[in-house]
Structure 1
């Protein structure tokens, strides 16, 4: 029985240049940092770019191995001036032994929407539901966009930067009513300020 030799991945610089040429005119940028290639694309070109990355012979990213949301509010100590929400995918080409990250920004901060890629990769189903649940990003075209981690009656999106740490409601079991009940949060919000202790001869150092 013969075995085919494993694919040898190309260098990250070469992959960046190859994808930049393949996607020329359709993306904001193709960047290399820490030996990882990141493609940034607008929502209007997202599906076209993702289909190209799956199907083009030099790309062949057959697998979507992760997708998550990002909230850029207060990013960089408030210096961020771009759009607030983005969805980030990680694609893997088993046949060519290469990986790429794709970042797509939602064009509307108040109602973040990007197209779903479920029709390209089935694995996007639960990932997009998670990003919807935690960040409120709507994936247009997803055929079952429901919450997946929080409870049915949950209000808000807990990974957004403006979501209160204590949440909006708390849950407890009511023995008299013999069911779980929701009530306003009783925890008083507080700010924890780290306390720094400096000792002149700490650890025997002078």
Structure 2
């Protein structure tokens, strides 16, 4: 572990104490796992504490662990993973929180802490169905408003039954049954004797 990561790990352990579920160093990156009940408080502490100063949220995404390790994993299905950066301290941290309920995954919104989380949380809601409690504009961002389901979930069907397109004659979006027929395509390979001038 690099010296920076050692210092960060020691500071997190001392400052957060029992709120740390797991603090793991893998492949040169530090991952902090916390309980959903402590998530917002921990996020605020990570940003505001003078010894941590993780001022920036770089990324936030949802994760579906239902088939992780070929289905042999025990525990909650959905997680939210955030990547944080401290410009002043020159270190990074991955913050992970698991939603307590698989049927209704819900964690606190961190938009009051880092306003850059706004669209990331909307994407995680849209793709995984994770509800962010306290988000002031939680609506779909990548799929259509009438879309049913969450396409990044492992149990989402690979092929849909309805497609959406814009109809120029009707001047509106229309929904219709999928018209794509499944087929197998064999690529055509062209070989040239003097390819590339050789």
TM range (shorter): 0.7 to 0.9
2:128 is matched with 135
The TM-score normalised by the length of structure 2 is 0.85
2:18 aligned counterpart, secondary structure? coil
Q: CA deviation at 1:178?
A: 4.3
Select the residue among 4, 8, 11 that pairs with 1:18.
11
Q: Post-superposition, which runs of at least 4 consecutive aligned residues in structure 1 deviate over 4 A?
A: 173-176, 186-190
Please list the CA deviations of residues 70-103 of structure 1 after superposition, one character each: whole Å capped at 9, or x if unmatched. 0001110010111000000011111111110000
Rounded to whole Å, the distance in 2 between the matches of 1:188 and 1:41 is 46
Please list the CA deviations of residues 95-130 of structure 1 after superposition, one character each: whole Å capped at 9, or x if unmatched. 111110000000000000000011111101111011
Rounded to whole Å, the distance in 2 between the matches of 1:57 and 1:173 is 53
Q: Which structure 2 segments of 5+ residues have no match?
A: 185-198
Contact 1:83 1:106 in 2 (8 A): yes
| Structure 1 pair 41–146 and aligned structure 2 pair: CA distance change class (3 A) | same
Q: Does 1:50 align with 2:43?
A: yes
Select the residue among 54, 64, 76 that pairs with 1:71.
64
2:163 aligned counterpart, secondary structure? strand
Root mean square deviation of aligned Cα = 1.9
Rounded to whole Å, the distance in 2 between the matches of 1:59 and 1:39 is 13
Select the residue among 52, 55, 59 that pairs with 2:52.
59
Rounded to whole Å, the distance in 1 between the matches of 2:161 and 2:108 is 30
What is the number of equivalent residue pairs in this alignment? 183
2:177 is matched with 184
Please list the CA deviations of residues 162-197 of structure 1 after superposition, one character each: whole Å capped at 9, or x if unmatched. 11112342123446544331123355679x9xxxxx
Q: CA deviation at 1:17?
A: 2.4
Contact 1:13 1:32 in 2 (8 A): no
1:204 is matched with none
| Structure 1 pair 189–73 and aligned structure 2 pair: CA distance change class (3 A) | farther
2:22 is matched with 29
Rounded to whole Å, the distance in 1 between the matches of 2:66 and 2:148 is 20
Select the residue among 77, 87, 96 that pairs with 1:94.
87
Rounded to whole Å, the distance in 2 between the matches of 1:167 and 1:122 is 34
| Structure 1 pair 20–188 and aligned structure 2 pair: CA distance change class (3 A) | farther
